[in-house]
Amino acid sequence: MNEATGVTHAEPTTHKLRLGALTALVIGSMVGGGIFSLPQNMANSADVGAVVIGWVITGIGMLMLAFVFQTLAIRKPDLDGGVYAYAQAGFGDYMGFSSAWGYWISAWLGNVGYFVLLFSTLGYFFPIFGEGNTVIAIVCASVLLWCVHALVLRGIKEAAFINQVTTVAKIVPLVLFIVICFFAFKLDIFTADVWGKSNPQLGSVMNQVRNMMLVTVWVFVGIEGASIFSARAERRSDVGRATVIGFLTVLLVLVLVNVLSLGIMTQPDLAKLQNPSMAGVLEHVVGHWGAILISVGLVISLAGALLSWVLLCAEILFSAAKDHTMPAFLRRENANNVPANALWLTNAMVQVFLIITLFSKGTYLSLIYLATSMILVPYLWSVSYAFLLAIRGEGYEKVAASVRNKDLIIAGIAVIYAVWLLYAGGVKYLLLSALLYAPGAILFAKAKRESGRPVFTSIEKVVFAAVVIAAVVAAFGLYKGFLTL
């Protein structure tokens, strides 16, 4: 039932998302702008040895995270909405709301960053766009934003189909890059300074690994994409399958792009490249046409990623509103079963921050670091919930003990990885995240009052107080200058 119109909307099979569409949502969400800047971003923090160690840690950690989302889709088929629903089921309404709120902010902040990078890339061909934050760039980004908005309003399935097309289109230049760099790879360049000893600014190997972690997390954000759309999946089993297939595909591409680049140019040379740095690497091998190829690929990639993340932003608010954790106005769907109010709120925030970047000169990297920090807590709640389910045996009544033990080990590793990510992100981004988490309590309180329930439980009051204190410290830090965006 559409609460705004009183019209009942059936969910026929033709409106459901199949395995291909779900997998494309996962890949499309993960493969955005990050991969095209990966060579420089990684070289800026680490050399070959630390990069390899970092990818091993990231590969294992993110694989466990993918398995966790697969397991949760099987063990809790009644929970729709992914990270939000898992946090709420395991730790209460406020933690569930905070996961939805943090995920939502992370997603639209990432979209702002994508718009900046998109028009910065177009600046390679049209200097008037500059670094993506000139007046004309912001005006054009705003026009594109509302075109995407209009497209999504036509229907989730239609937008998902277009996302499939753009996902295939943006994979082509990445495959070409990998093939060309494979044949141009030079082992002597790759092994010239494995541990970065010639560059003391990189620090110890452990520091190098730690400093590259936020970049690796950002390029994998979207791994939960299929679980967010679980309610719209044609077959529930496809949710977990799409998550793992999408993850393994993207992991292979990311590692090859990063490692092969280190065999084309040395770490100091890669660190000096302008982004999208893949363009500089390919130009070094084949000449100017290589830079053009990557730039065109990035434009297509960002267009697809923007579409994926607009879909995810609206869906997470809508899912939270359906069970009264978000206010009722976010439950409204249009005639095409699209959560219209959630979409309007999302893109209004993107528009506001696009205008802010015009005055603050916000950069792509500063935006994605903040966006990444916002999603770390929702990930931690999700994996912790999976760990609790395995300990309690909830959802494992009809399976062998070995399956439960396996899931317990996987969830345990995922929890350790999630905690490591919070440590790697640093105190600065935890404080800045609190500054964005705290105002969300206004919507949480509104939703609670609408349903006639107390706003906070006793434990939630303590958690909220801690968030407010951290937010006050962050605000004071920004005012005094010892914290910066």
Contact yes or no for 110/221 (Cβ under 8 A): yes
Note the pLDDT tens digit of each residue in 270-316.
998 877 889 999 999 999 899 898 888 888 777 777 776 787 788 87
Note the pLDDT tens digit of each residue in 366-415.
677 778 888 888 889 999 999 999 999 988 888 888 889 999 999 999 99
Q: What is the mean pLDDT of the chain?
A: 83
Q: Where are the alpha helices (DSSP H) in 17-155?
A: 19-30, 38-43, 48-75, 83-91, 93-122, 135-153
- Sign of the dihedral through C-alpha 296, 372, 244, 104: negative
Domains of the chain: 16-426 (1.20.1740.10)
Distance CA 209, CA 64 (A): 19
pLDDT value of position 312:
75
Distance CA 33, CA 302 (A): 6
Q: Give the single-character DSSP code of 17.
A: B
112: its two tokens: 């702002």
Residue range 339-350: average pLDDT? 92
3-state secondary structure of 233: strand
Q: Return the ∠ at Cα 199 (arms to 194 and 200), rounded to 5°.
A: 115
Stretch (H or E) spanning 298: helix 288-322
Contact yes or no for 26/309 (Cβ under 8 A): no
Note the pLDDT tens digit of each residue in 118-142.
888 888 788 898 878 789 999 999 9
pLDDT value of position 365:
63
Q: Quickly state the pLDDT bin for 12 (edges 50, 70, 90).
A: very low
Contact yes or no for 228/85 (Cβ under 8 A): no
- Sign of the dihedral through C-alpha 189, 191, 194, 196: negative
Contact yes or no for 246/80 (Cβ under 8 A): no
Contact yes or no for 189/263 (Cβ under 8 A): yes
Question: What's this model's pTM, rounded to 2 decimal places?
Answer: 0.80
Listed in sequence order, the residues at least 6 apart from 317 whose beta carbon sits closer than 8 Å to its beta carbon are: 100, 104, 326, 330, 339, 342, 345, 346
Q: Where are the alpha helices (DSSP H) in 123-236?
A: 135-153, 156-184, 187-190, 205-211, 213-220, 225-228
pLDDT value of position 6:
34
3-state secondary structure of 24: helix
Note the pLDDT tens digit of each residue in 229-280.
666 677 767 777 887 888 888 889 999 999 999 999 999 999 988 778 899 9
- Is the pLDDT reported for residue 10 higher than 50? no
- Is the pLDDT reported for residue 217 higher than 70? yes
Listed in sequence order, the residues at least 6 apart from 335 whose beta carbon sits closer than 8 Å to its beta carbon are: 2, 5, 7, 9
What are the Cα distances from residue 310, in Å, to 160, 336, 379? Answer: 11, 16, 20
**Residue 41 Cα to chain centre, angstroms:** 17
What are the Cα distances from residue 294, in Å, to 99, 114, 216, 305? Answer: 35, 16, 20, 16
Note the pLDDT tens digit of each residue in 25-69.
777 667 767 788 889 888 988 989 999 999 999 889 988 988 888
Distance CA 461, CA 67 (A): 33
